[in-house]
Structures are given as C-alpha cells and as structure tokens.
Amino acid sequence: MHPFDMKTVLFAKHAQHVVLIHFPIALFIIGVLFDFLAQWKKQRLLAAAAYYNLLVAAIATIPVVITGILAWQWELEGQKLKGILLMHLVMGCASSVLICVVWFIHMRTRRKQEEVLPGYRLPIEAVAVVIVALTGHLGGFLSGVNGPG
Amino acid sequence: MRRSVFITGLAAALVLGMGVLGTGQKSSVASAQEKMSTMEVKIDNFSFGPVTLTVPVGTTVTWINRDDIPHTVVSTDDSKTFKSKVLDTDEKFSFTFSKAGTYPYFCSIHPKMTGKVIVQ
C-alpha cells in the first residue's frame, strides 16, 4: 500500500472508522446523562452541557458514517452484506439518525426559546442509547478487540 | 501332468497377486497426489493456520472460516492475485496457484491477520 494513497490513510492498520466511532458514542451517552440529570435536578447548566454534547455527537456521526460506508465500498467492494456486518450497518445508520433526531429536538426547543424540553425526548434518548451500545458492541465484535494481538 | 498344472496355478496366482499389489500402489500414489494438490488453511480466533503454507505449483489452497466473525482472504500484491468475498462461519474460498512465488495475504476486515503461501 502507498503511504499517501487515500485508501491507505483511511484503512491501513489503524482503520479510521474504528477510531472515530468513539467520539459520537461517548459524547452522546454523556449528553443523554446530562439531559436526564438536568431534568431531575432542574438545572439549566446541565441542560446546556447536554445540548453541546449532543451537538458535537451529531457532527461526529458524519465522518463515522462516511468512513464506515467507504470501508464497505472499498475494502469489501460494496458486496451484499449479511449477518453481523449487515446488522452493524443497519443499526449504525439507525444510531446516527437517532443521535441527530435527539439533537434536533434540543435545538428546536432552544431556537423557539421554549422553557421546557418535550418529555417524549427522554424515551427516545433511552432507546437511542441502547441502539448505540448494541451497534458499538457489534462493531467491537467485528473489529476483534477480544482477539489475539 | 500334475506338476505342470501346479506350476501353471502358481504362475497365475503370482500374476494375480502382482496385479492386485500394482493397483494398490497406483491408488496410494493417486491419493498422495490428491493430498498434494489440495491444501487447507483454517481461519480461527482471528488468525490463519498455518500462517505460512508451502505447496507445489498447481496446488489448490482452500481457506475455511471456522471463526464466529466474518473474514476475507486478500492477496497483498497490487494486482490482487486472489480476493475472496466476505466469508461467514464455515464458508470456504479456494484458489489454485499455477505460478511459483511467495503470496502474502491478509484479511481486509482485520488487517493484522496475515498469512503467506509459498509456491515452489
């Protein structure tokens, strides 16, 4: 592989998708935690912290989705996926959409300068955390973090 | 008369026995050739086994995925001499090596997984 080849930069040894994925996962879960705490403690500061975590998490999903799809198209030549790979792709897309939906709910409330965030966001956030965790678990399984070396 | 019958019988038995032995030898040679012409590499626990396989020209190497995780078998050279599809558990990929040389390969999903086929 050529060291300046784009495919090499993206995938050789340190696959970028595997590295980048940790940012939206961590930011989203912490953002949801802050949001639940803000709801419980009625603190604006925590709600603001939750918003900015969710904003950066939503932005961070973009390179993750791009590198994931590029890995599929380049490394596996876009072949029809099945099994764990297909499940990871579907759940990854669902996770990205849910992260963006949660951020959008928060953003719309702030833009409208409404005092209270809608209550229905909390179950959406809880479901999103579960799907993100499952997607990450599948990704870890695929990347072989439990394998030798 | 009896003697000639005995000699004829003995000669027939010898010819028959040699024939049977010859067939046995032929079948054992054939099975040895068959063994040489197909070799297997097992994929398990995120590794290829054996990591380095030495085979004669014309051998077909079959990789079989015994792992729970999907893997691929892709030659490292730029021309990608061989490249499998994603192999799920118990799926196989075969390639016949018609030229002598060293063929390093890896799993494109897990680049740390590497192996080598030496064709002599």
* pLDDT for residue A62: 96
The widest CA-to-CA distance across chain A, in whole angstroms, is 55
Chain A closest-CA separation from residue B28 CA (Å): 40
pTM: 0.74
Kindly report the number of other CB atoms within 10 A of residue A129's CB atom.
Answer: 21
User: Is B85 at the interface with chain A, CB within 8 A?
Assistant: yes
What per-residue confidence (pLDDT) applies to B29?
43
Q: Check CB contact under 8 Å for B86 and A11.
A: no
Distance CA B47, CA B110 (A): 10
Name the minimum distance, in Å, from the CA of A62 to any CA of chain B: 21
Q: How far is B104 from chain A (nearest CA, A)?
A: 13
- Residue A72 falls in which region: left (phi positive, over 0), alpha (psi -120 to 50) or beta: alpha
Chain A residues lying within 8 Å of B45, measured CB to CB: 147-148
Using the beta-carbon criterion (under 8 Å), do A85 and B112 form an inter-chain contact? Answer: no
The mean per-residue pLDDT over the stretch B19-35 comes to 46
Q: What is the mean pLDDT of chain B?
A: 80
Instruction: Give the other-Cβ count within 10 Å of A84's Cβ.
Output: 17
Is residue B24 pLDDT above 50, yes or no? no
Given a cut of 50, is residue B18 above it in pLDDT?
no
Residue A109 CB burial class (10 angstroms; 0-12, 13-18, ≥19)? middle
From CA A14, how far away is CA A67, in angstroms rounded?
Answer: 12
Chain A CB contacts of B46 under 8 Å are: 144, 147-149
Minimal CA separation from B16 to chain A, in Å: 58
pLDDT digits (tens, 9 = 90+) for A46-83: 999 999 999 999 999 999 999 999 888 888 888 889 88
* Residue of A82, A142, A149 lying closest to B69 (CB–CB): A142
Partner-chain contact A81 B86, CB within 8 Å:
yes
Does B99 touch chain A if contact means CB atoms closer than 8 Å? no
3-state secondary structure chain B: CHHHHHHHHHHHHHHHHHHHHHHHHHHHHHHHHHHHHEEEEEEECCEEECCEEEECCCCEEEEEECCCCCECCEECCCCCCCECCCECCCCEEEEECCCCEEEEEECCCCCCCEEEEEEC
